[in-house]
């Protein structure tokens, strides 16, 4: 990467991390603190407050990304961060659960993830974009783990209003970073590998394998949000832990889950057994959900099931985007990821809202039954999924002055050894290739593209 690309990648990864830290910090403490608010004795309202963020996020994520194509990336990001800051302040000042629901909805309206991804694509060359996107993914994973450990102590110190005030400060810092640290792109254009296209949406929405993965991310995060709607209460009541000591559970189970996830993912990718690892992780998650539904007599049992859960969760979080990349049409990867991310946001609302209602009616065990049903349906769908080919995406710039015939170059590139799909998009000045992970003729592809300049 050039210094400018590295600055863009680190800056946008930091922007993601600051914003996600503000969202994840409430995850392990929200239910306990919200229940003490006026109106918080109704767990249905707690579930709505917890999940309202996801509803507005799902509704506005794709439109705001498309809007950034028209008015520019940074104006949309500024607007999104201001909304997130405003929503955080509303939550910090809320004196009733109703205001908390409203503030969370305003927070979610700052749906900038698509615009941030598009800005990153504008600021990085094609051959370095995957690396830059991986930096953002890594920042989210680290932020999630840190939040689970840090939040209980932080909440004991400054309370839930203090956490929301902290998220407002983080949003302000993010605004300053966008203004003064993240570069302004010289050229803004659409990127099929990173953005959602209206023209490609129908094909993506009808794709049977992608639909399975979209349900998968919905089930994964609906179950996660449902769990954390009741888990802090269970750790306090059944586990006998004060909220400020919940980190003593989260630290080992999250760390252990991450460490044990790594060999499984490497095995799946390197040995081309990604479907087997994927199905195994879903089955492991199902076991954890059934265990939590049927047997939670002590803190030790909670820790046991959480270890299994986080091993499965980390494997699934790492493998699902890889599966999207392998399965989606080469010129529709950005669209496929946009739909996938929207399903993830929607699941946050559905999981929280339903879990709040279930807990209010019948208690905690049925919440885990609900999670188990979601995961069981996912396992059935995953078993019928076609094993993906061992492929990866490669992007090549074709030059601003190139005036050849895209169909001809696409056909020639498709004929190169190891190339599974090839599409040349002149308006994006890029050749998109899906190639075998091992043994493809990269030198031949570069030579062919250079000959056409």
pLDDT for 303 equals 92
Residues of the chain with pLDDT under 50: none
Q: How far apart are the first and last CA of the chain?
A: 23
> May I ask the CATH architecture of the domain 209-388?
Up-down Bundle (1.20)
Q: Where are the domains of the chain?
A: 1-195, 209-388, 391-451
Average pLDDT, the chain: 90
pLDDT digits (tens, 9 = 90+) for 335-394: 999 999 999 999 999 999 999 999 999 989 999 999 999 999 999 999 999 999 999 988
CA dihedral 439, 442, 444, 445 (to 10 degrees): 130
Q: Are 1-195 and 391-451 the same fold in CATH? A: no
pLDDT for 211 equals 96
Domain 391-451 has CATH 3.30.70.100: yes
For the chain, the farthest-separated pair of C-alpha atoms sits apart, in whole angstroms, at: 70
User: What is the assigned CATH class of domain 1-195?
Assistant: mainly alpha
pLDDT for 127 equals 75
From CA 255, how far away is CA 261, in angstroms rounded? 10
pLDDT for 100 equals 94
pTM of the predicted model, to two decimals?
A: 0.92
pLDDT for 335 equals 94
pLDDT for 128 equals 79
pLDDT for 452 equals 63
Q: Are strands 430-436 and 391-397 parallel, antiparallel or unpaired?
A: antiparallel
pLDDT for 453 equals 59
pLDDT digits (tens, 9 = 90+) for 253-262: 888 888 888 8
Number of neighbouring beta carbons within 10 Å of residue 410: 18
For the chain, the helix, strand and coil percentages under 3-state DSSP, each to the nearest 5: 75, 5, 20
């Amino acid at each position: 990467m050039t210094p400018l690309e590295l600055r863009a990648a680190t800056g946008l990864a930091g922007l993601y991390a600051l914003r996600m830290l503000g969202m994840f910090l409430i995850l392990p403490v929200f239910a306990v603190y919200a229940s003490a608010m006026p109106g918080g004795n109704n767990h249905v309202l707690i579930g709505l407050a917890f999940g309202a963020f996801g509803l507005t996020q799902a509704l506005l994520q794709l439109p705001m990304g498309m809007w950034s194509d028209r008015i520019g990336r940074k104006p949309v990001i500024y607007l999104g961060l201001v909304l997130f800051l405003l929503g955080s302040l509303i939550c910090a000042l809320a004196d009733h659960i109703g205001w908390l629901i409203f503030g969370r909805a305003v927070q979610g309206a700052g749906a900038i993830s698509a615009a941030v991804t598009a800005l990153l694509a504008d600021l990085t060359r094609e051959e370095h974009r995957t690396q830059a996107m991986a930096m953002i993914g890594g920042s989210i994973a680290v932020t999630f783990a840190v939040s689970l450990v840090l939040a209980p102590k932080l909440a004991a110190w400054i309370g839930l209003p203090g956490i929301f005030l902290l998220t407002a400060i983080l949003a302000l810092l993010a605004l300053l970073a966008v203004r003064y640290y993240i570069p302004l792109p010289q050229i803004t254009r659409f990127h099929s590998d990173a953005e959602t296209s209206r023209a490609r949406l129908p094909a993506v929405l009808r794709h049977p394998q992608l639909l399975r993965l979209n349900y998968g991310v919905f089930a994964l995060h609906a179950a996660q949000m449902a769990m954390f709607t009741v888990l802090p209460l269970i750790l306090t009541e059944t586990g006998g832990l004060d909220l400020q000591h919940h980190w003593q559970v989260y630290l080992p189970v999250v760390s252990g889950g991450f460490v044990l996830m790594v060999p499984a993912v490497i095995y799946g990718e390197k040995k081309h057994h990604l479907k087997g690892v994927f199905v195994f992780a879903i089955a492991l998650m199902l076991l954890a959900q059934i265990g939590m539904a049927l047997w939670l007599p002590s803190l030790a049992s909670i820790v046991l099931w959480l270890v299994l859960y986080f091993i499965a969760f980390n494997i699934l979080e790492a493998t699902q985007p890889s599966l999207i990349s392998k399965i989606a049409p080469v010129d529709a990867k950005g669209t496929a990821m946009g739909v996938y991310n929207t399903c993830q946001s929607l699941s946050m609302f559905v999981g929280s809202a339903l879990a709040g209602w279930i807990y209010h009616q019948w208690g905690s065990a049925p919440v885990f039954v609900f999670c188990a049903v979601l995961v069981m349906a996912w396992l059935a769908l995953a078993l019928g999924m076609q094993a993906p080919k061992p492929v990866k995406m490669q992007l090549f710039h074709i030059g601003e002055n190139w005036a050849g015939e895209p169909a001809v170059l696409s056909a020639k590139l498709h004929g190169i050894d190891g190339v599974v799909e090839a599409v040349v998009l002149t308006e994006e000045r890029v050749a998109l290739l899906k190639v075998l992970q091992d043994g493809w003729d990269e030198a031949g592809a570069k030579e062919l593209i250079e000959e056409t300049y």
